[in-house]
Amino acid sequence: MLALIAGTGLLPDEVVARLDEQPLICAMEGFLPDRLEADLVFPLETLGSFVADLKARGVTRICMAGAVRRPKVDPARIDAATLPLVPVLQKAIMSGDDGALRAVIGIFEDAGFEVLPAHGLAPDILPPLGCLTQTTPTEADLSDADRAAGILRAMGDADIGQACVVSKGQALAVEGIYGTAWMLQSLTQRPDAGGGILFKGPKPGQDRRADLPAIGPDTVPAAAAAGLAGIVLEKGGVIVLQQDRVLEACDRLGLFLVVRERAV
């Protein structure tokens, strides 16, 4: 049996729509899915009991899909089954995003579950290689993509973010804790004539079973409002939600969308 631990955003819906089976929909308290109805809601303070409940229900596979922020933990709510996990949870909360996810995945694996990536259940949420739009990038755009890939590797080593904006070889913005939308919004008042690219990719060595970077239909007008020429994604490492709508928006607004091989 499959349990989908669903967060907010479009990803949980896209995964469920592609499944041949009905999963058990689970959600962490405070981060309920936008459209799916959760069968089981748990606070982080009772994670141990949640794990035991999944095993009792016959769950053998788990997929985590959707956005979840780090919750504030109330020590008074921690139950007996979760007490042995407290050191791991404390370390996870104090770690960067990738470290926190590795810790949570480790808890599920130690309990005997197989942890699956969203794209393992729905492979077509990862776009194919190449330019997918009517507008194509210039050589300068491709050079900016090379530069952005290097910047992203440095960001990933510091566990900072999964996106950056580069124009004419210069980093205009890097993604932090407020996400891609906030980063693009910060560029709407840029003083130059525009241009440049949004580049997205996973962190070096990232466990790709959770928290792959993603774009959706809202990303395209935000990139256009920031004055960008297009979007470049790393093949196999970035989810595109509602791909038809994304490509239609790119063509309508004159942006390119390119999926490129991972730089070595």
Mean pLDDT of the chain: 91
Q: What pLDDT, on a 0 to 100 scale, did the predictor assign at position 73? A: 82
| Judgement on whether residues 71 and 175 belong to the same structural domain of the protein | no
The span from the CA of 152 to the CA of 163, in Å, is: 7
Residues 216-227, mean pLDDT to the nearest whole number: 97
Confidence band for 164, pLDDT divided at 50, 70 and 90? very high
Strand 61-65 relative to strand 130-131, pairing = unpaired
Phi, psi of 197 (to 5 degrees): -135, 150
Report the interhelical angle of 97-110 vs 47-56 (nearest 10°): 40
Number of domains in the chain: 2
CATH of the domain at 231: 3.40.140.80
Long-range contacts (CB closer than 8 Å, 24 or more residues apart) made by 140-148: 140/168, 141/197, 141/229, 141/230, 141/232, 141/256, 143/169, 144/168, 144/169, 144/196, 144/197, 144/199, 145/197, 145/199, 145/232, 145/258, 145/260, 146/263, 147/171, 148/197, 148/199, 148/232
Give the pLDDT band of residue 182 (cuts 50, 70, 90): very high
pLDDT in tens, 60-88: 999 999 988 777 888 899 999 999 988 88
Predicted confidence at residue 99, as pLDDT, reads 63
Cα–Cα distances in Å, from 148 out to 66, 87, 143, 171, 173? Answer: 25, 37, 9, 8, 10
Same domain, 139 and 75: no
Shared-domain flag, residues 98 and 132: no
Q: Quick one: average pLDDT of 167-185?
A: 93
Whole-structure pTM over 0.95, yes or no? no
Same domain? For 133 and 243 the reply is yes
- Picking from 71, 102, 121, the residue at the C-terminal end of a domain is 121
> Which one, of 197, 198, 196, 263, lies nearest residue 236 by Cα?
263
Residues 251, 135 within the same domain: yes
Domain span at residue 231 reads 126-260
207 confidence band (pLDDT: 50, 70, 90)? confident
255 with 131, same domain: the answer is: yes
Band (211; pLDDT cuts 50, 70, 90): confident
